[in-house]
Structure 1
Amino acid sequence: MAKFLFVTDLDHTLVGDDLALEKLNQWLSEQRQNYGTVIAYTTGRSLPLYQQLIAQKELLEPDILMLAVGTEIYYPGSDTPDSEWTAKISPGWDREKVVEIAKRFPCFVFQPPLEQTSFKVSYYTSLDGLAVTIPPLKSMAKNQGLAVQTLDCYGGGFLDILPESANKASAAIYVQQRLGFTDEQTIICGDSSNDLSMFENMLCPAIIVGNAQKEVLAWHEKAPLGKRYLAKNHFASGILEGLEYFGFYRG
């Protein structure tokens, strides 16, 4: 078994089945120790919210931590994000201007402070609200010289506004290239709409866990065939199933 880059979402992907998580953790730990496998977490959580999760769940210490939907990248022993990545995603981003523009739309309700980061502005909203507001919001942002993207999660109930060049896919590709892993040496795992950027834009094997959101399942049904596997099992058990399918794991 050669080393590989293991990239996984946390909530409802890696986390959700404690027994399966323990089994996967043991295997990943052995792969890291014996072959140099790199473990990378990618999540919409901010650093404080990630710290809350690891206080509740038995997670392995990652080699790479991609937080706030890929807008922050951390390495072990540091609370400071990767400055090179920060510089790459900064052009066209002004958080204060984004917040001012979003104030014009009453259907956007600011999420709590722990959900907010320097490069992610997060709101509660509705699917109907998104359909009406996203086009003018993007137009206003462009008129002010901003380059942003919008990401609706969980069926339109949540909205993240990010720099145009930052999401889970771009962060994972940056890490992949920085560490010298090929697509054949990389595997990605996810369940939700903020994982779609990875499924859509990365050419490596991809595992969609069986409990994936309906938006992801709908995309999977319509998208061209690729190196992806829709697991029958949920959470970490689905990851193990996918790893076995792609030949990384032998149960």
Structure 2
Amino acid sequence: MTAELLLISDLDDTFLGDREALRRFSEFFPDMKEQLAIVYASGRFFETVKDDVRTTPLPEPLAVIGGVGSEIRSFPEGELNQNWVERISNKWSAKKVREILADEADVKLQPEKFQSDFKVSHFLRGGSQEQLDRIQAKLFDAGVNASVIYSSDRDLDFLPEGVNKGTAAAFIARELGFDQDHVIVAGNSGNDAKLFEHDFYGIVVSNAHEQLKQYADLHRVYLSPHARADGVRDGLRHWIGKLINES
């Protein structure tokens, strides 16, 4: 890698959601293209992210973390990272997760386009921590080791234990040759929270959910006064000179 820094960022309502802000970012990015590599970390899967890169001014990434961390694919080829697959496969069965949750009245399975071998997604409105803990215990008692990720007071994702955007980000950063002092993460919602738990430098955009804004108290996290792509741009300006000067 020739770039000195790696940005790992969420897409929806972080980079995307304001066309003019994204246009401003696309005008700003060429000046730092040699210094900064990008990986996108999305709740969505590779093909829809690839469509976004093709149809918007989004910079082209090195890789895409998809399905809330359940897959990592190279860009633009879409080749699945088999090292990650091997790492997350232990004691996991998407089919069994579906079967166990079938009798949960408040939990509704999302459409098939949001499912994969390593991610089972449901809708749950107004779920409590007590309910989430009970569901996780139910899975554990059935022999399924699963991470339970609840975000936006609506999206309930089940992934192999320990799998989330943060662990996937740490994995791909190491594979690409970046240590934690040369990684910046950005996000806006609950499923981005794990990105901020690996001592990376962080950017929380102003339109972030309150669940994520609490991470702004951490010493390496910057809460931008700007929203979406403007916030990412502002956050990079905040961090990038400091980090490159310290390199």
Q: What TM-score results when the alignment is normalised by the length of structure 1?
A: 0.88
* Cα offsets for 1:26-57 (capped at 9, x unmatched): 4334433x34x321100000234324534553
* Cα offsets for 1:34-84 (capped at 9, x unmatched): 34x321100000234324534553322211111101111111242331010
Shift of 1:215: 1.7
2:60 paired residue number = 61
Q: Does the residue aligned with 1:135 lie in a helix, a strand or coil?
A: helix
Q: Distance in 2 between matches of 1:77 and 1:245?
A: 29
Identify if the C-alpha distance between structure 1 residues 132 and 182 changes in structure 2 by more than 3 Å, giving closer, same or farther: closer
In the alignment, is residue 126 of structure 1 matched against residue 125 of structure 2?
Answer: yes
Q: Does the residue aligned with 1:189 lie in a helix, a strand or coil?
A: strand
Q: Distance in 2 between matches of 1:159 and 1:17?
A: 26
Gaps of 5+ in 2: 243-247
Gaps of 5+ in 1: none
Q: Distance in 1 between matches of 2:241 and 2:102?
A: 48
Q: Distance in 2 between matches of 1:132 and 1:204?
A: 30
Q: Distance in 1 between matches of 2:162 and 2:118?
A: 11
2:212 paired residue number = 216
In the alignment, is residue 206 of structure 1 matched against residue 207 of structure 2?
Answer: no
In the alignment, is residue 157 of structure 1 matched against residue 158 of structure 2?
Answer: no
**Is the contact made by 1:189 and 1:239 (CA closer than 8 Å) also made in structure 2?**
yes
Q: Distance in 2 between matches of 1:40 and 1:247?
A: 16
In the alignment, is residue 172 of structure 1 matched against residue 169 of structure 2?
Answer: yes
Aligned length: 241
In the alignment, is residue 103 of structure 1 matched against residue 111 of structure 2?
Answer: no
Which of 132, 135, 141 does residue 133 from structure 2 map onto?
135
**Is the contact made by 1:153 and 1:159 (CA closer than 8 Å) also made in structure 2?**
yes
Q: Distance in 2 between matches of 1:45 and 1:104?
A: 26
**Is the contact made by 1:105 and 1:133 (CA closer than 8 Å) also made in structure 2?**
no
Q: Distance in 2 between matches of 1:46 and 1:65?
A: 8
Which amino acid counterpart does residue 151 of structure 1 have in structure 2? I
1:243 paired residue number = 236
Q: Does the residue aligned with 2:68 lie in a helix, a strand or coil?
A: coil
Shift of 1:2: 6.2
Q: What TM-score results when the alignment is normalised by the length of structure 2?
A: 0.89
**Is the contact made by 1:67 and 1:73 (CA closer than 8 Å) also made in structure 2?**
yes
**Is the contact made by 1:46 and 1:68 (CA closer than 8 Å) also made in structure 2?**
yes
1:13 paired residue number = 14
Shift of 1:210: 0.6
Shift of 1:153: 1.0
Which amino acid counterpart does residue 236 of structure 2 have in structure 1? L
Aligned residues: CA RMSD: 2.1
Q: Distance in 1 between matches of 2:125 and 2:109?
A: 13
Which amino acid counterpart does residue 15 of structure 1 have in structure 2? L
Shift of 1:244: 1.6
In the alignment, is residue 71 of structure 1 matched against residue 62 of structure 2?
Answer: no
